[in-house]
Chains A and B, each alone.
Chain A
Amino acid sequence: GAVVSQHPSWVICKSGTSVKIECRSLDFQATTMFWYRQFPKQSLMLMATSNEGSKATYEQGVEKDKFLINHASLTLSTLTVTSAHPEDSSFYICSARAQGGAAEAFFGQGTRLTVV
């Protein structure tokens, strides 16, 4: 299957600082990528849809000014958590589909963010 690489795998940051998470599709081009958040013992919740060359679409309740998404190329989307606070601590996972309308989605390894 296709490979989606996410970096970093884990990060610890101080309250008030910003953290950038990268999501790359290694062997295919993805016009659309998706960002999810998962709290302990819960399911994955969609945060936003990232479209190459245009603004991201955010789910209801997700602050677009706190979670900045950039999808500058067909293989890279980034999520920046700005002015992070302890309640932003979570597991963030990205997903991508290949171009051409293929339906199967592939997921990155996830990033565990801890804000202290």
Chain B
Amino acid sequence: GIQVEQSPPDLILQEGANSTLRCNFSDSVNNLQWFHQNPWGQLINLFYIPSGTKQNGRLSATTVATERYSLLYISSSQTTDSGVYFCAVGEAGTALIFGKGTTLSVSS
């Protein structure tokens, strides 16, 4: 099956810093999504980005499908950005396969 690797596993930042999270996947996919899991466990959809670049406020993401990786950029980080960020990939109609996540801690 598809393997999904996220890096780094843990990231500690000061408020205001920028960060880049990476997701590598082992096979071609037509779905890639980034999520933020809040302290209550809910998965917040950040981006649906099987290819290309998208931006939403301080967050942006880029997926290079031909090279099988995606990057999530967080700029001017805030304490509310803390939590676990997951990358998940899959084919149309099938379940998403999740990476192990990056745990982000932003301190003031």
Does A associate with B in a complex? yes
Residue ranges of A at the interface with B (Cβ–Cβ < 8 Å): 1, 32, 34, 36, 38, 42-46, 49, 91, 93, 95, 97, 101-107, 109-110, 112
Complex CA distance for A101 and B43, rounded to whole angstroms: 22
Cβ A44 vs Cβ B86 within 8 A? yes
Residue of B nearest to A42 (CB): B100
User: In the complex, which residues of chain B have a beta carbon less than 8 angstroms from the beta carbon of A34?
Assistant: 95-96
Cβ A97 vs Cβ B33 within 8 A? no
Cβ A104 vs Cβ B101 within 8 A? no
Interface SS of chain B: helix, strand, loop or mixed? Answer: loop
Residue of B nearest to A44 (CB): B98
The size bracket of the interface on B is: 20 to 34
Complex CA distance for A102 and B51, rounded to whole angstroms: 15
Cβ A101 vs Cβ B92 within 8 A? yes
Residue ranges of B at the interface with A (Cβ–Cβ < 8 Å): 30-31, 33, 35, 40-43, 45, 48, 50, 86, 88, 90, 92-101
Complex CA distance for A110 and B46, rounded to whole angstroms: 17
Complex CA distance for A45 and B99, rounded to whole angstroms: 10
Chain B nearest CB, measured from A84 CB (Å):
19
Chain B nearest CB, measured from A10 CB (Å):
10
Chain A nearest CB, measured from B39 CB (Å):
12
Cβ A97 vs Cβ B101 within 8 A? no
Q: A43-B86, A109-B42 are in contact. Are A103 and B31 (CB under 8 A)?
A: yes
Selected A-B contacts with CB under 8 Å, 15 pairs: A1-B45, A34-B95, A34-B96, A43-B98, A45-B98, A46-B97, A91-B41, A93-B43, A95-B95, A103-B90, A105-B31, A105-B88, A107-B35, A107-B42, A109-B42
Cβ A43 vs Cβ B43 within 8 A? no
Complex CA distance for A108 and B103, rounded to whole angstroms: 21
**Most chain A beta-carbon neighbours within 10 Å: one of B35, B43, B101:** B43
Chain A nearest CB, measured from B35 CB (Å):
8
Complex CA distance for A42 and B30, rounded to whole angstroms: 25
